[in-house]
Amino acid sequence: MKKLFLLFSHKLTKQQVADAKKNLGVEEFVYLPTDLQKLWSNIPPSLAELSTYLAPMVEYIDSYAKTEDIFLVQGDFGACYDIVSYLKDNGFDAYYATTSRKTVEKLVDGKVVKTSVFEHVRFRKYG
């Protein structure tokens, strides 16, 4: 059973779930445990390097991922780079979500208010 491990800070949309099932062959979605989700979503900008900080993520991957599993990785650029590199070095595929942005302008109380709406387009594999 192919699992999609979710290393990012949001919940999947219905469109993303459908796309992952249809185009990536995903049968199960695995959100991070609460402690790792907090770690991933709150990477301190003051850290000069991330290997020690990300060690629990690597331990989690090593403990739970199987060769057929894939990963959705989005977040802090450096953390994504480090984790995607680790995944690729260990034979896993990693993806990120692409979106289109639609800007809507409304006149509210005499002021123009712009709102951006992001819609899922596809998952793209990291090179």
State residue 99's pLDDT score.
Answer: 93
CA distances from 12 to 49, 105, 120 (A): 29, 26, 10
Query: Strand pairing of 111-125 and 93-108?
Result: antiparallel
Q: Could you read off the pLDDT of 59-71 as tens digits, one per residue?
A: 999 999 999 999 9
* pTM of the predicted structure, to 2 decimals: 0.88
Q: Cα 6 to the chain's mean position, in Å? A: 5
State residue 59's pLDDT score.
Answer: 98
Share of residues in the chain with pLDDT > 90 (%):
94
